[in-house]
Amino acid sequence: MTIAGRLKTETAAAHDRLDARLDLLQGREHYAAALARFWGFYAGAEPQLDRWHARAPLVDWPERRKLPALRSDLLALGLTPAAIDALPVRSFEDDPPDAGAGFGWLYVLEGATLGGAVIARHLRKARTVPAAALSFHTLYGRRLGSRWRAFHAALAAWAGDDRARGDAVVAGALATFAAFEEWCLP
Ligand code: HEM
């Protein structure tokens, strides 16, 4: 199976659990609280991905950072800059990703952006959240599909048919799903 197929299959249960538990349509307060937890997760993970990318630039990671969009949404939801800076951050200092794990992390974060377009559609329909607070869930706009394919092309070029590399990516993705669930839905 391709690495893309393996990731989708082997993380499906973790994704479905999150999807079932993360109800983002409950209302503005609930949405703001969820994004505040997302913020803490990405604020810990993104500096690690910066270092991962600095060691070996295997994909256009810097253009994929999500923190600016999360910040802008939290501001639109009424948080002050000081309140955002004071949010708890999930530390990944003890667990920096190697080449394979970094791809696994990024698969999960890029996948959340892919699924985000669907979530944004539901949020717009439910009208529970101001449109100005939807930038995290509408990242990449029309380039969403091409950016997802470009990520997978870079991943496939690195992993090839190498079983051990594929295993490392899948393990990194599963660990990221688990950390995300533990942090956002304790
Ligand atoms: C309310 C919660 C969620 C819903 C409703 C949801 C929905 C979706 C949908 C509809 C897709 C398919 C998109 C497409 O193929 O165009 C998708 C893909 C994906 N989502 Fe989610 N998602 C949710 C939460 C999350 C979260 C929190 C994460 C990660 C932290 C995540 C990670 C992924 C990944 C990795 C994929 C790609 C699967 C693949 O390999 O094709 N999702 N999601």
CATH number reported for the structural domain that contains residue 144 in this entry: 1.20.910.10
Q: Which residue CA neighbors atom 25 of ligand 1 most closely?
A: 112
Query: 67 CB under 6 A from ligand 1?
Result: no
C-alpha 179/C-alpha 186 separation (Å) is 10
Distance 109 CA to ligand 1 centre (A): 9
- CB 34 near ligand 1, within 6 Å: no
108 lines ligand 1 (CB under 6 A): yes
pTM of the model: 0.97
Looking at residue 1, its amino acid is M
Q: Domain residues for 140?
A: 3-184
* DSSP per-residue codes, 47-113: HHHHHHHHH---S-GGGG--HHHHHHHHHHTT--HHHHHTS-----TTS---HHHHHHHHHHHHHHH
Cα–ligand 1 centroid distance for 15 (angstroms): 7
Q: Is the CB of 7 under 6 A from ligand 1?
A: yes
Place of tokens 């070029």: 157
* 8 A C-beta contact, residue 55 and residue 17: no
- What's the total number of domains in the chain? 1
Residues 6+ apart with CB under 8 A from 93: 48
**Is residue 8 lining ligand 1, measured as CB closer than 6 Å?**
yes
Per-residue confidence in pLDDT tens, the chain, 186 aa? 999 999 999 999 999 999 999 989 999 999 999 999 999 999 999 999 999 999 999 999 999 999 999 999 999 999 999 999 999 999 999 999 999 999 999 999 999 999 999 999 999 999 999 999 999 999 999 999 999 999 999 999 999 999 999 999 999 999 999 999 999 998
